[in-house]
């Protein structure tokens, strides 16, 4: 085993949880989970961190992922200390000793007393620990180095190589790390013991388990960290752990293995020491999804009219997601695209509970014949559990959703009992477990619930909430620039001269993009002028991830979109065998895919729905989405020639698909009339009233 899937990097603090929030030197965790970078996570105190790490270990190992956790603190002390303190030259003996002696509540801890005690026992009250951050004097703990004497080396071997590192003996003062080691190692000890068999500690053990603890020191990469801090408005510690997590996640398995090869069995080592240049270089590579390939719109040579299915298959194989990710509250994620798998943190239901209002009892203790059970005083309700045990042979009043108390495994429905003053009677024959819900019968903690690419529905939001997910990693919204071209176009509301028409495509495409969940970027109208078009495409590529143009996509004199794209070598004319729709121009303009749509509004809409919509979904990270259609009896007659697929503006009335009276490509009223499309196959068909035809409602294009 070598590869890790997830990386959590922690900057632990040594102090107490007092004062304002967020505190400057509190605890931050940087997290890249299964390839997805989360926002750094803030913890007020070590207890919260410990719980979160335990949950993370549970979740990642349950999902079969290997997790590396980095801690910004020495895992061992300089040589000789372990043996003097514990009798064994074993770093884990020190962890164990500290866990037994350190008391840590969020508001107070005894680190200075413990250090002073060690000084008295091992160093005649003069060292190895020094500096005191509190007002109280501690007998044996020097405040300064004046009377200091250290029976052990002042630094670990690794620190003699690490410029600017602090000695672990110094407990207080700017930059000191001593306190966080004393306070942090017990946390590591508890996690290591709690997850025995799942956790290995570098470099003391071979990393042959799912989870590895690794010592990190962000200051090792001082310049890279400074650059990252300058480019972020997060606190310094947050940026550092985020940057470390990003760095670790970028290392390939072989490099990671190589960097993990060190020999420091007692003192430990700082990950990456001696490889600073390599790590800095890896960090400075920009973090973005890989760009689309230059030839992504190339068509096989010699093809004349490409059938619709082939065109779609080409788009599906050529395009990849281009959007980054962000973490958002789950409650704000409706309609957004999930970027990372979600695993249930909690089971649903979390504990066995009653499915009805009634009476609960132990099935095994039921008497023969029709039971009459005395009632235990009290009751169990949803959110108000019954704390005691229900004695064998008795029943307890229980309401829907209440956790089953000890002594109850079966519930009889209230309507099925006769109630006396202190007892209930019902018919024999109830089955064990009746009217109860098992813990996890819906969802078990640790199982995957939602996959990347999922467009989140209200039901998904409920599932996330019920299983304890408050935040989700989402794809950033795809930004799509919209440009209309044509000398004849004016803006609705402006005065229109002879030969001028109002721009209908741009408002249509902008509202459609909005409904598809993308961010439309309105680039306005461009006249039939190559320079202006070039500028607009430049700006579009800068402001958006993809560009939709309409008009000028054919091969005529004024078809400047196709002319410009051809001239710059960016374009392929896709002559797709579809009606309506003249050639679709597909190009990559400065890395941004351009969909050059026909100018006719009907053709523009059909081409967008059929070709651009699934392509944009893929770019956005939602995967390739096929619209759901239905076979319905036709309410029309039509004879269609072979050679191209046809889409008719349609709607359903009285269970039949009717189509718009005119097939004219400029009939915008038909777009408004229609509620979907009828799709007629590539070959010849003779449609008679009542024949099945494929109807795709506009709602299916989402
Ligand atoms: P083109 O593809 O530029 O030759 O345009 C084909 C037809 O669509 C022409 O009749 C144009 O006037 C019309 N058209 C082009 N763009 C738009 C638009 N944005 N809104 C309405 N009609 C348009
Ligand atoms: Mg035009």
Note the pLDDT tens digit of each residue in 327-351: 899 999 999 999 988 889 899 999 9
The neighbour count for residue 423, using CB atoms within 10 Å, is 15
- The percent of residues in the chain predicted with pLDDT above 70, rounded, is 96
Is 116 within 8 Å of 172 (Cβ atoms)? no
Structure tokens given for 702: 């989402």
* For residues 606-614, average pLDDT: 96
Query: What's the CA gap between 235 and 240, in Å, rounded?
Result: 9
Q: How far is CA 630 from CA 380, 657, 700, in A?
A: 49, 10, 10
For the CA of 598, the nearest atom of ligand 1: 2
**CA 67, CA 60: separation in Å to the nearest integer?**
7
Mean pLDDT of 678-697: 97
Give the mean model confidence (pLDDT) for residues 488-515.
Answer: 96
Pocket test for ligand 1, best of 494, 509, 529, 550 (most atoms within 8 A of CB): 550
Residues whose beta carbon lies within 6 Å of some atom of ligand 1: 484, 486, 488-489, 501, 503-506, 550-554, 598-601
Please give the distance, rounded to the nearest whole angstrom, from the Cα atom of residue 582 to the centre of ligand 2.
13
Among 540, 562, 554, 551, residue whose Cα is nearest residue 489: 551
Ligand located closest to 550 CA: 1
- How many angstroms does the Cα of residue 145 sit away from the middle of ligand 1? 83
CA 599 to ligand 1 center in whole angstroms: 4
* Spacing, Cα 500 to ligand 2 middle (Å): 12
Q: What is the dihedral of CA 667, 676, 659, 548, to 10 degrees?
A: 30
Confidence of residue 302 (pLDDT cuts 50, 70, 90): low
Does the structure show a pLDDT above 90 at 564?
A: no
Token readout for 496 is: 């229109």
From residue 506, alpha-carbon distances to 531, 587, 661 in Å are: 20, 20, 25
**CA 560 / ligand 2 centre spacing (Å):** 8
Quick: pLDDT tens for 214-239.
Answer: 999 999 999 999 988 887 778 899 99
Q: What stretch of H or E contains 288?
A: none
Q: What is the pLDDT of residue 1?
A: 39
Residues 6 or more apart whose Cβ sits within 8 Å of residue 188: 71, 75, 95, 201, 213
What atom in ligand 1 is closest to the CA of residue 582? Answer: 2
The average pLDDT across 641-654 equals 95
Q: Return the HEC string of 547-611.
A: EEEECCCCCCCCCHHHHHHHHCCCEEEECECEECCCCEEEEEECCEEEEEECCCHHHHHHHHHHH
For residue 620, the CA-to-ligand 1 centroid distance in Å is: 28
Measured in angstroms, how far is the CA atom of residue 568 from the centroid of ligand 2?
20
The tokens of 647 are what? 């889409």
Query: From CA 646, how far away is CA 644, in angstroms rounded?
Result: 6
- Dihedral angle sign, alpha carbons of residues 282, 55, 64, 325: negative
pLDDT over threshold 50, residue 2? no
pLDDT computed for residue 442 by the predictor? 95
- Read off the tokens for 391: 């004695």
Q: pLDDT band for position 149 (50/70/90)? A: very high
Under the banding of pLDDT at 50, 70 and 90, the label for residue 569 is low
β-bridge partners, 372: 425
For the CA of 550, the nearest atom of ligand 1: 16
Nearest ligand to residue 604 Cα: 1
Pocket perturbation via mutation, ligand 1, pick of 600, 664, 665 by most ligand atoms within 8 A of CB? 600
Q: Vertex 292, ends 289 and 295: CA angle to 5°?
A: 165
How far is Cα of residue 437 from the mean position of the Cα atoms in its chain?
31
Ligand 1 atom nearest 506 alpha carbon: 19
First to last CA, the chain: 42
640 DSSP assignment: E
CA of 246 to the centre of ligand 1 (A): 48
Distances (CA, A) of 87 to 81, 126, 149: 9, 21, 21
**Most ligand 1 atoms within 8 A of CB, residue of 581, 585, 599 to mutate:** 599
What DSSP designation does 343 have? E
Q: Which phi and psi (to 5°) does residue 46 adopt?
A: -70, -30
Query: pLDDT value at position 295?
Result: 75
Closest to 292 measured CA to CA, from 310, 317, 312: 317
Q: What pLDDT score was predicted for residue 290?
A: 66
592-597 and 584-589 beta bridge pairing: antiparallel
CA of 552 to the centre of ligand 2 (A): 4
- Residue 60, C-beta contacts closer than 8 angstroms, at least 6 positions apart: 5, 6, 33, 66, 67, 210, 211
User: What is the band of 286 on the pLDDT scale with cuts at 50, 70, 90?
Assistant: low
Beta carbons of 154 and 78 less than 8 angstroms apart: yes
CB atoms within 10 A of CB 231: 8
Q: Looking at 513-522, 550-559, 561-570, 648-657, which range is the least confident one?
A: 561-570
481-503 burial: b if 16+ Cβ within 10 Å, else e: bbbbbbebbeeeeeeeeeeeeeb
The one-character DSSP state at 612 is I
Mutate to test the pocket of ligand 1, among 551, 558, 604 (most ligand atoms within 8 A of CB): 551
> What's the rounded Cα separation, in Å, for the pair 204 and 198?
15
pLDDT number for residue 457: 97
- For ligand 2, the distance from its centroid to the CA atom of residue 564, given in whole angstroms, is 14
Q: Which residue has the tokens 């890249």?
A: 32
Predicted confidence band of residue 554 (pLDDT cuts 50, 70, 90): confident
Distance between CA atoms of residues 226 and 217, nearest Å? 14
Lowest mean pLDDT among 140-154, 205-219, 284-298, 583-597: 284-298
Atom 15 (ligand 1) nearest CA: 599
State the average pLDDT over residues 500-528: 97
> Which ligand is in closest contact with the Cα of 486?
2
Residue 53 pLDDT greater than 50, yes or no: yes
Atom of ligand 1 nearest to the CA of 556: 4
Give the chain's mean pLDDT.
91
Taking CA atoms only, the protein residue closest to ligand 1 atom 23 is 599
């Amino acid at each position: 085993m070598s590869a890790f899937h997830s990386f959590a990097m922690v900057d632990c603090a040594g102090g107490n949880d007092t004062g304002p929030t967020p505190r400057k030197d509190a605890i931050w965790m940087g997290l890249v989970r299964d390839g997805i970078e989360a926002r750094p996570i803030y913890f007020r105190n070590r207890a919260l961190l410990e719980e979160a790490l335990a949950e993370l270990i549970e979740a990642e190992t349950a999902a079969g992922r290997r997790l590396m956790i980095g801690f910004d603190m020495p895992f061992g002390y300089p040589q000789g200390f372990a043996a003097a303190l514990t009798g064994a030259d074993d770093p884990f003996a020190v962890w164990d000793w500290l866990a037994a002696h350190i008391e840590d509540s969020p508001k107070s801890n005894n680190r200075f007393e413990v250090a002073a005690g060690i000084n008295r026992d091992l160093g005649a009250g003069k060292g190895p620990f020094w500096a005191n951050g509190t007002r109280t004097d501690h007998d044996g703990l020097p405040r300064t180095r004046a009377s200091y004497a250290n029976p052990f080396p002042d630094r670990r071997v690794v620190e003699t190589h690490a410029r600017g590192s602090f000695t672990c003996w110094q407990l207080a003062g700017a930059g000191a790390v001593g306190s966080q080691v004393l306070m942090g190692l017990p946390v590591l000890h508890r996690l290591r013991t709690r997850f025995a068999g799942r956790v290995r500690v570098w470099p003391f053990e071979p990393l042959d388990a799912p989870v590895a603890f690794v010592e990190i020191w962000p200051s090792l990469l001082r310049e890279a960290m400074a650059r990252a801090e300058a480019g972020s408005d997060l606190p310094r510690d947050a940026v550092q752990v985020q940057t470390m997590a990003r760095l670790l996640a970028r290392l390939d398995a072989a490099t990671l293995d190589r960097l993990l090869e060190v020999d420091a069995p007692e003192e430990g080592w700082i990950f990456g020491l001696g490889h600073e240049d390599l790590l800095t270089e890896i960090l400075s590579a920009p973090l973005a999804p890989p760009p689309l390939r230059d030839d992504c719109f190339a068509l096989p040579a010699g093809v004349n009219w490409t059938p619709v299915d082939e065109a779609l298959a080409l788009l599906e194989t050529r395009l990849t997601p281009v959007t980054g990710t962000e973490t958002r509250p789950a409650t704000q994620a409706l309609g957004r695209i999930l970027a990372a798998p979600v695993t249930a943190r909690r089971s649903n239901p979390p504990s066995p509970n009653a499915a009805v209002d009634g009476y609960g009892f132990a099935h095994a203790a039921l008497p023969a014949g029709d039971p009459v059970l005395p009632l235990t005083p009290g009751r169990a309700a949803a959110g108000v559990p019954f704390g005691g045990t229900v004695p064998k042979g008795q029943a307890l009043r229980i309401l829907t959703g209440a956790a089953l108390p000890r002594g109850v495994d079966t519930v009889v429905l209230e309507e099925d009992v006769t109630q006396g003053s202190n007892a209930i009677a019902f018919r024999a024959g109830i089955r064990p477990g009746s009217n109860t819900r098992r813990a996890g019968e819906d969802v078990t903690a640790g199982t995957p619930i939602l996959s990347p690419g999922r467009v989140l529905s209200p039901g998904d939001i409920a599932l996330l909430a019920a299983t304890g997910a408050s935040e989700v990693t989402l794809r950033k919204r795809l930004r799509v620039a919209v440009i209309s071209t044509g000398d004849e176009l004016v803006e609705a509301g402006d005065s229109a001269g002879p030969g001028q028409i109002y721009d209908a495509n741009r408002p249509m495409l902008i509202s459609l993009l909005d409904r598809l969940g993308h961010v439309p970027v309105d680039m306005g109208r461009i006249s039939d002028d190559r320079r202006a078009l070039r500028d607009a495409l430049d700006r579009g590529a800068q402001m958006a991830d993809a560009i939709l143009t309409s008009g000028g996509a054919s091969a005529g004199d004024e078809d400047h979109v196709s002319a410009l794209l051809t001239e710059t070598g960016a374009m392929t004319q896709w002559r797709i065998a579809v009606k309506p729709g003249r050639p679709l121009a597909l190009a990559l303009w400065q890395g941004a895919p351009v969909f050059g749509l026909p100018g006719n509004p009907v053709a523009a809409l059909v081409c967008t729905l059929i070709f651009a919509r699934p392509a944009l979904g893929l770019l956005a990270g939602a995967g390739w989405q096929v619209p759901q259609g239905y076979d319905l009896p036709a309410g029309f007659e039509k004879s269609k020639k072979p050679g191209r697929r046809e889409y008719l503006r349609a709607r359903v009335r009285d269970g039949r698909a009717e189509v718009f009276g005119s097939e004219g490509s400029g009939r915008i009223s038909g777009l408004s009339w229609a509620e979907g499309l009828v799709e007629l196959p590539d070959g010849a068909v003779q449609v008679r009233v009542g024949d099945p035809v494929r109807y795709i409602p506009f709602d299916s294009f989402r």
